[in-house]
Structure 1
Amino acid sequence: MNKTEREQIRRLVADFKQWGQRAADVQAWHHTVKDAASSGERNLRSRSVEIIRAGQAAWRVVPLQMNDTGIVMRLWERANLPVTTAGDRALLRLLTEDVPRAIAEVGPLLSVRRFFTGSARKQSADAAGESLRRHHLAVTGADGPTRLEQLGFFTAPVDPARLGFDALLDPALRFDLISRRTGPEPEILDRSVFEGLSEALAAIAKVVASEASYRSAARDAGEKVRHAEVQRLLQEMPVDALKAATRDRLRLGALSQAGIGTVQEVLNWGWSLQTLPGVGETSARHMLGAAQTLWQTTYDEMPVRIDINSRRPETTHLLRRLAEWDSCRQTRGASADLERAAELAPLRTAVRGETRHLLVIPTRTLAAAGLVESIQIVKRRAELLGASSASGPKGVGSDPWDDFLTRPADYFAMLSELGFITEDENAVHGDLPEEIIKAVRDQALSGEHLTASLRGYQSFAARFALVQRKVIIGDEMGLGKTIEALAVLAHLRSRGETHFLVVCPAAVVTNWVREVSSKSKLRAHRVHGPERDRAARTWVRDGGVAVTTYETLAWWEPALKELPDLACTVVDEAHYIKNPQALRTIRTNDLIARSDRAILLTGTPLENRVDEFRNLASYVRPDLTVDATDLSPRTFRRQIAPAYLRRNQEDVLTELPELVEVEEWLPMSAADTARYRAAVGRGNFMEMRQAAMLQGPRSEKVQRLIEIVREAEENQRRVIVFSHFREVLDMVARSLPGPVFGPLTGSVPASQRQQMVDRFSLARHGAVLVAQIVAGGVGLNIQSASVVVICEPQLKPTTEAQAIARAHRMGQVQSVQVHRLLSEDSVDQRIVELLAGKKRLFDDFARVSDMADSTPEAVDLSEAELVREVVAAERQRLAERASVEA
């Protein structure tokens, strides 16, 4: 290599050293930017919290502080690093790895050491020099130096003043919490959205904790009642029961000789049993084990009962603890809101004073708006709790039994909340398929505008209505369908809805207005009667719950059609619209169709024909198909399940007192017989049904009724007397000795019916409410009565069931006695036979039953057919008797 060649190599080496340094700087800069961005990602990830809903992560939330803008800058820098191609990476590797090795090898030829270098080293250096020439030519030919400069600068200008937290939402930043996800878009929440959330969560936690002691005291009192009842039962259980528990492997002669006669006495003796003659340690252990097994079995099956006829000290103590808990707790009706507070609990420590924004990243199908809604609910609940702050129990009277008898349903709801009244989970679900049950369980239910406690089955019904949007709730009478519907309206109000409408019979308008006002924070408007015009205008302007009647719809229909947003229509006693041709059905169905949601309430969804119930279902779900060729009960319930929920009293009200039904067959007096024969002769069916009641004191039925009322007074009970006929009611009112209220008939103005019931409920024992079975058997709640008398059998099975359910319903604390007054050898016998057949049909289709031994029409008769058949039969029977007597 001559001098010229050496100078050329030196120039190449100088270029490569400059380029190599630049390449090393570029690589270091890229690594630094990436490392800083990754460190920022780890920082944000470590501060993030998961919000869980329904057992699954719903959102990941990252609190952002002001100095986190630096992290955003690092992520922006990483996103705007020049992208290195394969050629770029080859260039950098050449300049930082390959070329330095070649420079080291060519070094001996560029200094005086070349005179002392062996031929092999010279040969290697010559090859390295040639390699440098080729590399230099390639780098310059590809404009490598310019590319090096480009790799050392961001691809876009940096403006920190304009780089805010919103940049985190840019997919180009490749923030790992956002880039590796699918579903709804993440959002940045301003501090104004969550301002005060930590304080709200702390306030709710404090209130819940303060109530815990009262709740715990109530639970302890309930356990004492349970233990005392178990002890009383075991005190009456003979020791022979120990044999059953051990499959007759115990010899109990020694116990009898020692005077130990009950299982409780065995427990009282304990290990002292082994001191008895003939009882060793092993026998004592077996006896005690069997006794303890019986105790545990009895305890597990023992509900907490409140018996007003046996006011034991431990039960009185329980009622007082329940009253104290109820008076101090501020979270009544807020269970759904407390669920939201529990969900947001991780944010309580994550959100600090320096937090300015929240990055919300949905992890499922729930958008960030759902989290914002939860935050608002929790903040509002904290405000409500602060406004109603209480330092302790208030208003607990000297005798808690008085308060219990005034509102027993509230006490039973508290016992249910404490777990002392259990519900059959399958019964709560009715006949719903599993996919609907799952959706209902996942549905939230806000209690912000509800002031009453809900039983578990009631909460399920409300959530079912929310999930399915338009439904029939056919819960058996007495289960609280009104509060179930109110819970739906209250939930919708918390979601911003404003206008709700209740359509009901005139007899229950007052009751609906009362329920709305006493059990919710919604405003009720009575759009019925002389003030209907003013109430309607106020409702349209301000919103709330308008309560109107089927008849009033004819007047109001034009104005309602102009209302753009009707959030929910509730149709009470919905069997009133079973006839699709009736005008009230057409008007009501139009409202159902225009409402976002609709709830049809009826305890009697099926009266005579399944076709009528199919009509109701078509109003809420016209898309459902009911196969008319296979109308077995099982098929019918399966097809109607998406729109229909029904539960029975005996399935969900385990605390309901006994229902005792007695058919009292009475002979007819001479006066009764004469009047009955005359009615048969005239072929007057309705007169035949009344004949045995219209003779006053000369009537056997009236005499028996007077005895029933006297017995009720002695037993401290009140009585309801039902009849279909106004003339019978007037006769009863004149014939009874004690305080009589009524007759409550269809002619009594709706506003006065509840007042009549209220006066009756406050009257002394032995008081009687006389009511037409159609007017008094619908809508009204008359738990103050525990004796029901039905003067004559009715033509529909549901008519009597409705009437009985006015008294035998949630909140009733006494056993309910039902007396059916029936005349021997009369039209009553034929009607009872028909009634039994219809009731069986109702049970098959409307209840949970697998019986399918008939089609819907198998035992159905029209009233005209019934009249002809019964009158003809009675004429023939009386004629045959007359001929025999002659």
Structure 2
Amino acid sequence: MEREARQHLRGVMEEVSRWRRLAVRIVEQREPVETAAEDAAGRLLGRVTSLGTGSSTAWRVLQLTPSDTELVTSLARRRALPELSTPVQQGIDQLTGDADRALTAVRALFGARRLFSGKSRKNEAEQAAAYLASLHEQVASTRLVTDLESLAARDGSAIPSVGLPDILDDSVGFGHRLGARAELVERRELDAARTALAAMERALQRENEFRTAVSAAGDAVRQAEVRKLLADMPVERLKDATNGQLRINALIDAGIGNVQQVLDRRARIRSLPGVGETTGTRMVGAARTIWQTTLDEMPVRIDIKNRSQATTKLLTALRAWDAARSIRNATADLAAADAVRPLLQSLDPQASHVVLVPQARTVAELRAALAAVERRGALLNGGADVADGDPWEDFSTRPADYYAMLAELGFLADDAEKSQGDLPAEIVAAVRELKLDTSHLKASLRGYQSFGARFAIVQRKVIIGDEMGLGKTVESLAVLAHLHAKGSSHFLVVCPAAVVTNWVREVGTKSDLLAYRLHGPGRDDALRSWIRNGGVAVTTYDTLGWLEGRIPERAAPACLVFDEAHYIKNPDARRTRRSTALIDASERAVLLTGTPLENRIEEFRNLVGYLRPDLSVSASELAPRQFRKQVAPAYLRRNQEDVLTELPERVEVDEWMPMSSIDEQHYRAAVIEGNFAAMRQAALLAGVKSEKMQRLIDIVQEAEDNKRKVLVFSYFRNVLDEVASVLPGKVFGPLTGSVSAAKRQCMVDEFSQAPHGAVLVAQIVAGGVGLNIQAASVVVICEPQLKPTTEWQAIGRSHRMGQLESVQVHRLLSEEGVDQRIIEILARKNQLFAEFARVSETADSAPEAFDITDAELAREIVAAERERLLTGS
């Protein structure tokens, strides 16, 4: 090779050598980063474990501790390395491979090696020279050198540490190794559930302990009540208790005036003058007998106005027991606990994050389970750790649940026979044998409510006619929950539009069943969801026409519930025909109505006939007792005084008052026109000049002074508007039939939260149906109604299970005019209902079945009033 050629080759070699050094530097920079990342990935993947139950894997799990930050950073550093294009990678491979070997071989053409190298070596050197020249020319024509210089100049050590929360981020590049659905869960999410899980397990273990504490606290409250009662019981009762055998003058002379003092001073009784050992022993024995008898029959009452230490302790114990025992019936929460328990139990104490890779279950399902466990745990800790929170507030929020627990423990005097109504012995036996499955029910049941639910299940198609306020809704929900536990999926509730919202709420708060509103906007989507998922569909009597033909066979309701079932008492009405078609096609149906008989016995017979056409029931020819026997297989009714021993008293006052002069003018004009409706309203349309209005203002003012709230009912919108404009203070309403169901419930909620003295003004046919308004304890009815059941329903909105105050009912009545005559008609209808539908009462003979319609009543009264006013007779 000529000198000039060698000189050119030397220049090529220098440039290729420089390029090679760049390539080597790049390799030396990248290789340890990639090695460390691969090692980190292997170590992390090697710690992935499978979790689940039995042979099923729910998730693959990777637990991360703070020490894993270095591994994640290693992965991130590799991810941060610039990506090598194919030409660059090929260039690096050439420069560190073939080019490196060529640079070594080509040296045989230079210096002393040129003289001493053999022919083959020189040939190899010449080939290497040709290769280097070709490589130099190829590289010089591309961006390879620029790219190599840029890569070699990069400082890899400048990449900062990467935190564990970023492990699934693209900047780390590890997520794809686990799967696209992998998710990161922080330790704090799991710790809350871990604490809750411990609370659930502790509650299951401590339920008996809490129950014992309730029993002890209940006995203490009952004994305190007995002590107060005996302190008010004159000592003369000892004489009565022994049929006059004891002489008590010595006790009176010693200043012992009541039975409790005899017990308190029993050690000194025998030493009183004129008593002696034998007589003293008998006196103390008689007092002890009275004490024991009183204790045995003394129900536990909770007085919110007398928050004694003993009662507070009882409520605290009840809250703890309720939380503990509720876990056994909370099947969904227990299932959630089972789902998360393996993960929570396997947690490394040092783990700060967990990567979950879904297998049989999604991470969303895990989070839902964690939330369910956490909610249940918070409830359990709130019940078990009594230092926090006021048990009186919880009691005020749900008194019916507390009384149900007291009844379960025997602290309320439920009468078993009265709770069963007037049922044949064989039906009672069948109901007693049925075990009610309440695993999907969140509410506590009173004994009579459990019996009612079991009666409906055993008899399949029934009327639950319990008096207003006894919990017919929860009885029917207990039926649906039991059937759901036995495999049924779809249920249908039909009710007035006013109570759709209340039913949806009750299903959600008192059971695990899903509720769907098949009424109003969105009903089509709700229907599809109900058909697909099952649960309780809630619709209205007026929507039944829309629903016809839309329910496929697979979603046929396993049980129907008709609330306010007296809406279908007329067999010729369209809604009745649609309802009875559903009843005929269904295996089970529950009709709920506290007023199965409003005007005529025929109405009651119709309701029974819809369910049990096989029962031969006469509407008027049989005596009341025989009539009740015939309907008993399909009808169960209990009255408040029979089963709610804790219900505060109800005081009803008929407020008779004269008409003012302007009232009389309005009334006379209405009579002349023959306008019956105007006659009924006349005494309330003169504002403050009306005697009834003046009395209403006084009642509201007195209620505010006594820290009460007031419900004012009238049939007439004109009267309601007048009342709302005249009454002082905060007035809600009028709540009328034109107010939407959702807005009605909202109005009731706002009224319930308002301060004392608030007034809710409601149309009696709207506010008197379906709403629970225990916040009010004063009820005013502005004019007598044409049906006694209308008044009963309205009063029952307030005087019902959960009411903590005594309820005052004021009827505003005019001494002259239509009110007196309506009251006479009401008395006859009251008697009719009592003898045929109020099963706890009996009658000696069949009464006359008054079949008087509202129109006939109006004609009768208008004619009589015309005669009285216009002829003076």
Q: Is the structural similarity TM-score above 0.5? A: yes
Aligned position for 2:417: 426
Give the corresponding residue for 1:688. 679
Q: In the alignment, which of 518, 529, 532 is matched to residue 527 of structure 1?
A: 518
Tell me the equivalent position of 2:271: 275
Residue 851 (str. 1) matches residue 847 (str. 2): no
2:805 maps to what in 1?
814
Deviation at 1:254, TM superposition (A): 2.4
Asked if 1:864 corresponds to 2:855, the answer is yes
SS of 2:633's equivalent in the other structure is helix
Structure 1: segments with no counterpart, 5+ residues? 1-202, 339-383
Compute the displacement of 1:561 (Å): 6.2
The reply on whether 1:649 has 2:640 as its aligned counterpart is yes
CA distance in 2, matches of 1:753, 1:629: 39
Secondary structure of 1:794 counterpart? coil
Of 282-291 and 541-550, deviating more is: 282-291
The one-letter code matched in structure 2 to 1:850 is T
Q: Give the C-alpha shift of residue 410 in structure 1.
A: 0.9
Question: Given the superposition, is the C-alpha separation of residues 686 and 304 from structure 1 closer, same or farther in structure 2, using an over 3 Å criterion?
Answer: same
Match of 2:255 among 259, 275, 292: 259
For 1:470 and 1:407, the matched residues in 2 are separated by: 30
8 A Cα contact 1:333 1:452, kept in partner: no
Q: Determine the structure 2 residue equivalent to 1:751.
A: 742
- Residue from 792, 795, 817 that aligns with 1:826: 817
Distance 1:802 1:278, change over 3 A: same
Q: 1:246 to 1:385 in 2, by over 3 A?
A: farther
Aligned to 2:629: 638
Q: 2:676, 2:615 → 1: CA distance?
A: 41
Q: Deviations over 1:835-866 (max 9, x none)?
A: 01101100100012221544452x33222221
- C-alpha distance 693-853 of structure 1, shift in aligned 2 (>3 A): farther
Residues 143-194 of structure 1 show CA distances to partners (whole Å, capped at 9, x for unaligned) of xxxxxxxxxxxxxxxxxxxxxxxxxxxxxxxxxxxxxxxxxxxxxxxxxxxx
* Closer/same/farther in 2, CA of residues 745 and 333 from structure 1, 3 Å limit: farther
User: Alpha-carbon deviations, 1:261-308, whole Å to 9, x = none?
Assistant: 221111111132222222211121121111112211221221111112
Q: Specify the alignment match of 2:600 in structure 1.
A: 609
* Contact 1:327–1:395 (CA under 8 A) maintained in structure 2: no
Aligned match of 1:445: 436
CA 1:845/1:440 → structure 2, altered by over 3 Å: closer, same or farther? same
For 1:535, give the aligned amino acid: A
Corresponding position of 2:228: 232
- Give the TM-score normalised by structure 1: 0.69
Tell me how far 1:395 sits from its aligned partner: 7.3
The alpha-carbon distance between structure 1 residues 334 and 430, as it changes in their structure 2 partners (threshold 3 A), is: farther
Distance 1:205 1:847 in 2: 47
Q: Secondary structure at the match of 1:782?
A: coil
The answer on whether the counterparts of 1:718 and 1:768 sit within 8 Å (CA) in structure 2 is: yes
Flag the 1:424–1:205 CA change in 2: closer, same or farther, 3 A. farther
In structure 2, the partner of 1:244 is: 240
In the alignment, the residues of structure 1 paired with residue 701 and residue 245 of structure 2 have an alpha-carbon distance, to the nearest angstrom, of 54
Deviates more, 1:435-444 or 1:694-703: 435-444
Q: Is the 8 A contact 2:490 2:556 kept in 1?
A: yes
Displacement after TM superposition at 1:333 (Å): 4.9
**How has the CA–CA distance of structure 1 residues 711 and 679 changed in structure 2, closer, same or farther, with 3 Å as cutoff?**
same
The equivalent residue for 2:560 is 569
Counterpart of 1:69 in structure 2 is: none
- Give the conservation status (yes or no) of the 8 Å contact 1:334–1:447: no
Alignment-mate amino acid for residue 865 of structure 1: E
Spell out the pairing of 1:403-422 with structure 2 (5 A cutoff).
Answer: 403-422=394-413
Residue pair 1:447, 1:491 contacting (<8 A) in 2 also: yes
Please report how far the alpha carbon of residue 802 of structure 1 lies from its aligned counterpart in structure 2 after TM superposition. 0.5
Matched position secondary structure for 1:792: coil
Counterpart CA distance in 1 for 2:620 and 2:865 is: 37
Partner of 1:551: helix, strand, or coil?
helix
Contact 2:681 2:716 survives alignment (8 Å): yes
Aligned to 2:548, the other structure's residue is in SS state: helix
Q: 1:446 to 1:387 in 2, by over 3 A?
A: farther
Cross-structure match for 1:708 = 699
Structure 1 residues 629 and 577: CA distance shift in structure 2, 3 A: closer
Kindly report which structure 2 residues correspond to 1:331-370, keeping only aligned pairs within 5 A, or say none: 331=327, 333=329
1:322 — aligned with what? 318
Give the secondary-structure state (helix, strand or coil) at the position aligned to 1:663.
strand
Aligned match for 1:732, one of 701, 705, 723: 723
Which residue of structure 2 aligns with residue 219 of structure 1? 215
Counterpart CA distance in 2 for 1:628 and 1:231 is 52
1:792 maps to which residue? 783
TM-score (norm 2): 0.70
1:770-819 deviation digits (Å, cap 9, x = unpaired)? 00000011110111111000000000110000000011111111111000
State the distance in 2 between where 1:684 and 1:465 align: 46
Give the structure 2 partner of residue 842 of structure 1.
Answer: 833
Question: How is 1:472-621 mapped onto 2 (pairs within 5 angstroms)?
Answer: 472-560=463-551, 565-621=556-612
1:457 counterpart (448, 456, 476): 448
Alignment check: 8 A CA contact 2:316 2:383 kept: no
In 1, distance between residues paired with 2:502 and 2:666? 40
Offset at residue 394 of structure 1 (A): 5.0
SS at match of 1:720: strand
Alignment-derived partner of residue 720 in structure 1? 711
Counterpart-to-counterpart distance in 2, 1:796 and 1:267: 53
Distance 1:744 1:330 in 2: 37
Give the direction of change, closer, same or farther, for the CA distance of 1:706–1:482 in structure 2 (3 Å limit). same
Matched, 1:393 2:383: yes
Distance 1:699 1:559 in 2: 54
Q: Which amino acid aligns with 2:311?
A: T
**1:806 and 1:263 mapped to 2: Cα distance?**
41
- What is the aligned-residue RMSD (CA, Å)? 2.2
Matching residue within 745, 757, 770 for 1:766 = 757
SS of aligned partner of 1:672: helix
Which amino acid in 2 is paired with 1:586?
A: R
> Does residue 302 in structure 1 map to residue 302 in structure 2?
no
- 8 Å contact from structure 2 (residues 752, 775) kept in 1: yes
Q: Is the 8 A contact 2:601 2:620 kept in 1?
A: no
* C-alpha separation in 1, matches of 2:831 and 2:620: 21
Match of 1:54 in 2: none
Range with bigger deviation, 238-247 or 720-729? 238-247
Segments of structure 2 that go 5 or more residues without pairing to the other structure are 1-198, 335-371
Structure 2 CA distance for partners of 1:275 and 1:601, relative to 1, 3 Å:
same
Q: What secondary structure is seen at the aligned counterpart in 2 of 1:525?
A: strand
Q: What is the distance in 1 between the residues matched to 2:492 and 2:647?
A: 31
| 2:28 corresponding residue in structure 1 | none
1:53-84 CA-partner distances (Å, limit 9, x unpaired): xxxxxxxxxxxxxxxxxxxxxxxxxxxxxxxx
Taking the aligned partners of 1:747 and 1:204, their CA distance within structure 2 comes to: 47
Deviation at 1:705, TM superposition (A): 0.3
> Which residues in structure 2 correspond to 1:36-47 (within 5 Å)?
none
Matches of 1:564 and 1:298 in 2, distance apart? 55
Q: 256-265 vs 479-488, which deviates more?
A: 256-265
Superimposed CA distance per residue, residues 416-461 of structure 1 (whole angstroms, 9 cap, x where no aligned partner): 1111012111111111100011111111211111111111111111
Q: Deviations over 1:21-78 (max 9, x none)?
A: xxxxxxxxxxxxxxxxxxxxxxxxxxxxxxxxxxxxxxxxxxxxxxxxxxxxxxxxxx
Counterpart residue identity of residue 256, structure 1: I
Q: How many residues align?
A: 633
SS at match of 1:311: coil
Secondary structure of residue in 1 paired with 2:383: coil
* Alignment partners' CA distance in 2, 1:561 and 1:627: 38
Q: Distance in 2 between matches of 1:641 and 1:331?
A: 37
**C-alpha distance in structure 2 between counterparts of 1:391 and 1:825, whole Å:** 62
The alignment partner of 1:600 has SS state of strand
The match for 1:742 is 733
